[in-house]
A = this chain, B = another copy of it.
Amino acid sequence: MVYHKTEKVLEKQQSRKRKILNAARELLAEKEMGNASIKAIAKKAGIATGTFYLYFRDKDALIDTMLKEIYKELLDLIKKERAPYTNGFDKLEATMKACINMFMSKKNLARILLDLTPQNNAVFNTKFSDIINDLIRLTKIDLDELIEQKLIPEQDTQVSATAFVGAFREVILAWINSDEPLDAEIAYQTIINFNLRGLGKS
């Protein structure tokens, strides 16, 4: 005999999975990431440690799901912000602004996506570097287009895109980790200018 879950139970389970993911996000975003043990995550989510394994096969599965989710949120926002533009520079700038806005308002996401003090978790590191590489890949597409349109000089766009993302990441990270809120408006314009000039925007 098989029992069927009621709507109420399904909702409760979904909510629990959500709570686990949120707890993991919060704990992973903290300065001392060592605290993101299964026990701590379960506690923060308000469940017993064993319960965790009813929702995720193992810790790797959680990390994987969480990173995919966060990255998707970022890409969705970027897509939305870029939509109004056709000019290559505008699109790049919109991308940067979308990232800045998201990371400023959700610092925990930024710490997880950009920070360089990763976990002693193989899956985390792999996934993480996949994401950075994907951001570089997307940037490269824009750069190739800009060259196509002769808006920037010929260059190794793989390298440029890597530099572009690296510069951006480092600045956002410094931003997030600094206590004194630097002058956002100036810093903001500085990194955007740096990157666009770096490409050779004439």
Which of A155-202 touch B at CB < 8 Å? Answer: 155-156, 158-160, 162-171, 173-174, 182-183, 186-187, 190-191, 193-195, 197-200
Q: Report the Cα distance A69→B171, complex, angstroms.
A: 27
Question: How many copies of this chain does the complex contain?
Answer: 2
Q: Which residue of B lies closest to A187 (CB)?
A: B159
A103 contacts the other chain (CB 8 A): no
Minimum Cβ distance to chain B for residue A198 (Å): 3
Which B residues are CB-close (under 8 A) to A162?
Answer: 167, 170-171, 174
A116 contacts the other chain (CB 8 A): yes
Candidates B34, B125, B182, B198; contact of A116 at CB < 8 Å = B125
* Chain A interface main SS type: helix
A1 contacts the other chain (CB 8 A): no
A86 contacts the other chain (CB 8 A): no
Is A121's CB under 8 angstroms from B118's CB?
yes
Q: Report the Cα distance A33→B121, complex, angstroms.
A: 10
Q: Report the Cα distance A160→B187, complex, angstroms.
A: 9
Chain A positions near chain B (C-beta within 8 angstroms): 32-34, 116-122, 125, 128-129, 136, 155-156, 158-160, 162-171, 173-174, 182-183, 186-187, 190-191, 193-195, 197-200
Q: Report the Cα distance A128→B199, complex, angstroms.
A: 29
Is A194's CB under 8 angstroms from B190's CB?
no
**Of A116, A128, A155, A193, which is in contact with the most chain B CB atoms at under 10 Å from its CB?**
A116
Is A120's CB under 8 angstroms from B119's CB?
yes
Which B residues are CB-close (under 8 A) to A173?
Answer: 166
Is A197's CB under 8 angstroms from B195's CB?
no
